[in-house]
Structures are given as structure tokens and as C-alpha cells.
Amino acid sequence: QVHLQESGPGLVKPSGTLSLTCAASGASIGSDPWWSWVRQPPGKGLEWIGEVYPGESPNYNPSLKSRVAISVDESKKQLSLEVNSVTVADTAVYYCARGSEYSWHHWGQGTLVTVSS
């Protein structure tokens, strides 16, 4: 059974960097395709951030591409997300998700990140 768990600071200051990790059990972040980050501002809809395939360069949402980096640490079996130059608009629940068949079959529980001074 696949279990995903996001972790990271719940509070980030404006203009700072948001950093999250996702740990997976029951699946291999280093070899299973593919892994994504999705976010959801409070009370709003879902927004895809980006994805990574093993051995390939990540793909990002064009609206976030200049500020986002997604990577995989195979030794730690972790997926990582960094968003720099954050503003209050980046306040959201951030989910990691495992993809297959152009959709996401497994999701983490999500972690709320608030951007505030």
C-alpha cells in the first residue's frame, strides 16, 4: 500500500523560500513514474505545481516555473519542493502525489504552508 507524507515548515516569511519534502512508503520515488506537487489555497481549487520523472528534467506549471524547483533524492527516497520569493498568494495546502495514466492515484495528506511576517 502506497503512503505519502509531506513535511516542512508551516510558516514562511514573505520573500523567503518554501521548502517541503515528501516521503513515500510502498512505492519507489527513485524509479516509479511520476511524482508531482499540487497545491490548494484555503477555500479554493487545485493547482498543479510540477512533476518529475526518474532520470528526466522536471516539468513545471508555466505560471510558477521561474520560482519552483522539484527534485528527487533517491538515497533518502524523498521528493522535494522549493518555491522561492514567496508571497501571501503562495499560502496553500501542498500535496505530493504519485501519478499514473495521466492522473494521480495516490496523494499525501497535505501540509498547510502559510506565508506571513
From 10, 62, 75, 89, residue interacting with other proteins (rule: CB under 8 A) = 62
d(CA 48, CA 46): 7
Q: Which is nearer to other proteins, 30 or 107 (by Cβ)? A: 107
Nearest to 86 by CA among 29, 9, 25, 1: 9
φ/ψ of residue 52, rounded to 5: -140, 135
Cα–Cα distance measured from residue 106 to residue 100, given in angstroms and rounded to the nearest whole number: 9
Q: Which is nearer to other proteins, 17 or 64 (CB)?
A: 64
* 2 touches other proteins by CB under 8 A: no
Q: Does 81 bind other proteins (CB under 8 A)?
A: no
Q: Which stretch binds other proteins (CB under 8 A): 23-31, 45-53, 67-75, 78-86?
A: 45-53
CB of 83 closer than 8 Å to CB of 64 = yes
Which residues sit at the interface with other proteins, rule CB under 8 A?
36, 38, 45-48, 51, 59, 61-62, 95, 101-105, 107-110
